[in-house]
């Protein structure tokens, strides 16, 4: 397999692992910079397929502390749902959903089940926060910035593009990804921090339609109070707002760390 | 001897030449003023002051402009930015309401509320609207009202009448324009009475009263939500309120209806009512009524023929002025909305009351984003300039009391010793110690440069060591100025804010004023203001 083919397959295996595996943590980039390195050499059409297949997936997410740490390993179940107009993930008591309309305008919602609130981020608010709303990265866990930092290690299976594995360093962390081109999702993704702690995302189940026993996005929170992210400044003491602001900050929104 | 004289002469000449060469280095930083300009300007000010005419007579019209969050530092920085955008140093510039000839009266406003040292927009606008200070989060009810009070009868008993309601009772036309949701605290304080500013739609009310446990949301005894109050005004106010323009249509649409501009979104009303349609239905019996949600519909409404206009241009607040151009459906600017409102209201020969709010200066500051906040303020200034032009053209300028103020301030600072004309959004560069020496960045105790603008708290906090901003574009629209204290959103600030005034009874604005005295000045101007029809009926 020549390097170009590998890169083509590898390009499809790129993913965004921002922070502690927050797949919807689309970072606040002031400028969507052109990818460099491997990504620049790889046509975008190879990396992403358009449209992405409609899919529901169940992931096991493990947060593994560094050796010698007193913290215990934590395991969570995430449910991922994707269609042409919506990408949603249910992470326990938090739901996140990206919505896209016919004009490609994107908005975001975060549901807090404990507080029974839904926080809405309008198209304009996302732009003000500098949040990148390119749909393909949102729908495939892919962050173009990190594409150039990963290299293909090996191809599994007889089809060289069946499930390529990519490894590389992003900052001080090491990423390892096994990509499923047909699903346009990772089968496995692991991030190892410099201190040895790890976060692993493992695909456990996928289907074109979610099984009946799975929770459905937007259902439990249908009657919750809805608040606008643009109003956070007037609601500083609100529990939900403080939670949402902290989450925003952890993924680079509302951040001074924009590039200029 | 002759040679010694020659040598001494040559040495003297050389010293003189060297001295002259040094003195001829011009200052790197130079203001545009000549020496005499300063003195002349001061003398002109004295002349203008002596020429100020006191209009000690009633006003036909009153306009209350509120820059939400527009404290003194915001005004100062915005004036500099506006000047620099026009290619000038900026410091000598004046925003439209800072021109002494146009707004000769100035005071400071104390913004504390009954229970807050630093207030939010609800009690502050209540103070300006009603003449009473009240409690945090409350709109046009007195301070004996319990927090979370849901009972409509209690709210009714505690309600305090607003200047808009008084103007309506006097037979004047009224209008409200804002870049925030039209149900947001500042505009809402003029027409709604409620203990909780967040109750903008029925779905926002709690199921039960937090104090008594009595049924709240959906109960016949519950206070109406704010959007509903706008539609179900008393007959007098309903007839008077000709125009309401801003954002917030999500609170007027039921949750079964998709938003016309963003079809992935729905309305938020749980009662199934479409209040935007009800505006047209209820006002249509009194004159030509319309509802607009985009620029094309807004432009199509002709003030000469239309009588009632409700404009809701976003599901929530309208876009920041810096971002408005990208709105696909198009949105009118604050200036355009105010222009339209004035053209509607000046038709009424009985006079009018108009409130205009630049509602998003506050939001940008909360986001720690100075450039957006200042551009909102520059647009606010443009709106006021346009207002003066329209009133002059219609011959009503001298009959109109205009007040420009803020509800509260922000923790926004202008620091360091930047030289004249230094980019207000840039790094501090001080005047060089020697004329001719180049400008250089000022540095902190660790040798790092810093920006002129900053915040005391907010999302601009940088954890760890300060960043090196040398290669950072601090003038970028999205740059967040540094903050000393990390908070999710930057907060309000408690210092006094300015009040600028012109027109009839404007001379009553002066000194250190409680914020609620603004209402009393407006009422003094409106009372016996002539041109009004009938008697008070409310």
Domain assignment present for residue B10? The answer is no
Domain assignment present for residue A171? The answer is yes
pLDDT at residue number A142:
58
Both tokens assigned to A216: 């459905």
Domain assignment present for residue B46? The answer is no
Residues listed for chain A: 260
Domain assignment present for residue B255? The answer is yes
Given an 8 Å threshold on Cβ–Cβ distance, is A246 in contact with B488? yes
- We report the CATH number of the domain holding residue B99 as 3.40.720.10
Please tell me which residue of chain A has the smallest CA distance to B205: A225
Q: How far does Cα A242 stand from its chain's mean position?
A: 22
Domain assignment present for residue A78? The answer is yes
How many domains is chain A built from? Answer: 1
Both tokens assigned to B134: 């009240």
**A173 or B393: whose pLDDT is higher?**
B393
Chain A residues whose beta carbon lies within 8 Å of the beta carbon of residue B179: none
How far is residue B353's CA from residue B189's CA, in Å, rounded to a whole number? 14
Closest Cα in chain B, distance from residue A113 (Å): 17
CA atoms within 13 A on the CB side of A38: 26
Domain assignment present for residue B265? The answer is yes
Average pLDDT over residues B467-483: 96
Given an 8 Å threshold on Cβ–Cβ distance, is A122 in contact with B315? yes
Which value does ipTM take for this structure? 0.88
Chain A residues whose beta carbon lies within 8 Å of the beta carbon of residue B488: 232, 236, 241-242, 245-246, 248-249, 254
Q: pLDDT digits over B207-219, tens only?
A: 999 999 999 999 9
Residues of chain B with pLDDT > 90: what percent?
91
**B327 or B299: whose pLDDT is higher?**
B299
Look at residue B172 and give its three-state secondary structure: coil
How far is residue A20's CA from residue A109's CA, in Å, rounded to a whole number? 20
Both tokens assigned to B361: 């200066």
Given an 8 Å threshold on Cβ–Cβ distance, is B323 in contact with A124? yes
pLDDT at residue number A158:
44
- Strands in B453-458's sheet, in edge-to-edge order, are B412-414, B453-458, B483-486
Choose among B270, B320, B478: nearest Cβ to A130: B478
- 3-state SS, B44-85, equals HHHHHHHHCCCCCCCCCEEEEEEECCCCHHHHHHHHHHHHHH
pLDDT at residue number B18:
52
Both tokens assigned to B91: 């410091």
pLDDT at residue number B538:
34
pLDDT at residue number A250:
85
Average pLDDT over residues B437-443: 95
For residue B348, give its domain range. 64-411+491-526
Catalytic, B121? Answer yes
Which helix (H) or strand (E) covers residue A188, if one does?
strand A185-192
- We report the CATH number of the domain holding residue A92 as 2.50.20
Average pLDDT over residues B281-308: 96
**DSSP type of residue B306:** -
Domain assignment present for residue A143? The answer is yes
Domain assignment present for residue B378? The answer is yes
Chain B residues whose beta carbon lies within 8 Å of the beta carbon of residue A30: 476, 478
Check if the beta carbon of residue A131 is closer than 8 Å to that of residue A143.
Answer: no
Given an 8 Å threshold on Cβ–Cβ distance, is B480 in contact with A255? yes
Chain A residues whose beta carbon lies within 8 Å of the beta carbon of residue B362: 233
Q: Is B87 exposed, middle or buried (0-12, 13-18, 19+ CB in 10 A)?
A: exposed
Place of tokens 């432009």: B299
How many domains is chain B built from? Answer: 1
Given an 8 Å threshold on Cβ–Cβ distance, is B328 in contact with A122? no
Closest of A203, A190, A83 to residue A135, by C-alpha: A83
Q: pLDDT digits over B129-178, tens only?
A: 999 999 999 999 999 999 999 999 999 999 999 999 999 999 999 999 99
Domain assignment present for residue B194? The answer is yes
pLDDT at residue number A25:
36
Domain assignment present for residue A256? The answer is no
pLDDT at residue number A32:
33
Check if the beta carbon of residue B372 is closer than 8 Å to that of residue A128.
Answer: yes
Domain assignment present for residue B282? The answer is yes
pLDDT at residue number A44:
39
pLDDT higher than 90, residue B4: no
pLDDT higher than 90, residue B350: yes
Which helix (H) or strand (E) covers residue B23, if one does?
helix B2-23
Residues of chain A with pLDDT under 70: 1-50, 142-148, 154-162, 256-260
Domain assignment present for residue B8? The answer is no
pLDDT at residue number A28:
33
Neighbours of A245 (CB within 10 A): 23
Domain assignment present for residue A246? The answer is yes
């Amino acid at each position: 397999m020549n390097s170009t083919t590998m890169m083509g397959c590898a390009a499809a295996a790129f993913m965004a692992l921002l922070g502690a595996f927050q797949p919807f943590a689309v970072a606040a980039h002031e400028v969507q910079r052109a990818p460099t390195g491997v990504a620049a050499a790889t046509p975008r059409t190879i990396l992403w397929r358009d449209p992405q297949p409609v899919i529901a997936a169940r992931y096991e997410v493990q947060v593994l502390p560094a050796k010698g740490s007193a913290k215990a390993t934590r395991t969570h179940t995430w449910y991922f749902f994707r269609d042409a107009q919506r990408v949603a993930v249910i992470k326990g008591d938090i739901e996140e959903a990206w919505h896209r309309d016919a004009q490609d305008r994107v908005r975001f919602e975060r549901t807090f089940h404990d507080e029974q609130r839904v926080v809405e981020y309008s198209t304009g608010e996302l732009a003000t926060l500098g949040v990148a709303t390119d749909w393909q990265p949102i729908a495939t866990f892919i962050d173009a910035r990190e594409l150039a930092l990963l290299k293909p290690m090996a191809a599994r299976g007889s089809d060289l593009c069946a499930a390529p594995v990519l490894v590389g360093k992003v900052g001080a962390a090491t990423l390892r990804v096994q990509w499923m081109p047909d699903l346009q999702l990772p089968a496995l993704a692991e991030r190892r921090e410099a201190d040895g702690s790890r976060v692993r995302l493992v695909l456990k189940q996928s289907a074109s339609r979610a099984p009946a026993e799975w929770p459905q996005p937007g259902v439990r929170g249908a009657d919750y109070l809805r608040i606008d992210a643009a109003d956070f400044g007037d609601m500083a003491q609100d529990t939900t707002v403080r939670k949402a602001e902290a989450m925003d900050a952890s993924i680079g929104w509302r951040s001074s760390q924009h590039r200029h | 001897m002759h040679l010694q004289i020659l040598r001494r002469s040559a040495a003297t000449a050389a010293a003189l030449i060297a001295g002259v060469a040094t003195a001829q280095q011009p200052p790197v930083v130079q203001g545009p003023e000549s020496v005499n300009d300063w003195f002349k300007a001061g003398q002109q000010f004295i002349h203008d002051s002596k020429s100020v005419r006191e209009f000690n007579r009633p006003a036909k019209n009153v306009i209350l402009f509120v820059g939400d969050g527009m404290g003194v530092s915001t005004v100062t920085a915005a004036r500099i930015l506006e000047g620099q955008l026009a290619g000038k140093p900026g410091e000598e510039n004046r925003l439209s309401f800072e021109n002494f000839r146009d707004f000769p009266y100035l005071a400071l406003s104390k913004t504390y509320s009954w229970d807050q040292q630093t207030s939010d927009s609800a009690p502050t606008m209540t103070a300006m609207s009603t003449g009473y200070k009240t409690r945090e989060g409350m709109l046009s009810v007195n301070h004996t009202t319990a927090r979370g009070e849901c009972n409509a009868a209690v709210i009714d008993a505690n309600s305090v009448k607003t200047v808009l309601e008084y103007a309506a009772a006097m037979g004047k036309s009224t209008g409200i324009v804002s870049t925030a949701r039209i149900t947001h605290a500042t505009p809402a304080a003029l027409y709604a009475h409620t203990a909780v500013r967040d109750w903008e739609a029925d779905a926002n009310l709690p199921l039960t009263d937090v104090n008594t446990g009595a049924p709240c949301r959906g109960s016949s005894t519950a206070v109406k939500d704010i959007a509903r109050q706008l539609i179900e005004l008393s007959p007098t106010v309903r007839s008077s309120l000709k125009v309401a323009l801003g954002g917030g249509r999500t609170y007027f649409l039921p949750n079964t209806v998709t938003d016309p501009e963003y079809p992935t979104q729905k309305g938020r009303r749980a009662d199934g009512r479409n209040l935007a349609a009800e505006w047209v239905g209820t006002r249509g019996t009194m004159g030509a009524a319309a509802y607009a949600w985009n620029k094309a519909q807004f432009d199509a409404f002709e003030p000469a023929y239309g009588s009632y206009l409700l404009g809701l241009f976003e599901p929530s607040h309208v876009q920041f002025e810096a971002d408005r151009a990208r709105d696909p459906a198009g949105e009118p600017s604050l200036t355009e909305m105010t222009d339209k409102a004035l053209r509607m209201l000046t038709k009424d020969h009985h006079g009018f009351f108009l409130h205009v709010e630049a509602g998003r200066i506050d939001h940008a500051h909360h986001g720690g984003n100075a450039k957006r906040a200042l551009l909102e303020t520059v647009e606010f200034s443009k709106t006021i300039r346009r207002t003066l032009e329209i009133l002059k053209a219609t011959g009503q300028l001298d009959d109109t009391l205009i007040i420009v103020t803020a509800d509260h301030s922000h923790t926004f600072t202008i620091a360091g010793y930047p030289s004249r004309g230094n980019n207000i959004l840039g790094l501090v560069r001080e005047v060089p110690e020697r004329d001719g020496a180049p400008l250089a960045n000022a540095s902190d105790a660790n040798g790092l440069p810093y920006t002129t603008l900053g915040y005391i708290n907010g999302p601009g906090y940088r954890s760890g060591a300060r960043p090196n901003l040398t290669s950072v574009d601090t003038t970028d629209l999205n740059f967040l100025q540094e903050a000393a204290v990390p908070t999710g959103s930057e907060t309000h600030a408690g210092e006094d804010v300015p009040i600028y005034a012109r027109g009839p009874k404007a001379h009553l604005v002066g000194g250190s004023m409680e914020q609620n005295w603004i209402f009393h000045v407006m009422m003094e101007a409106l009372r016996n203001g002539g041109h009004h029809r009938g008697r008070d009926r409310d």
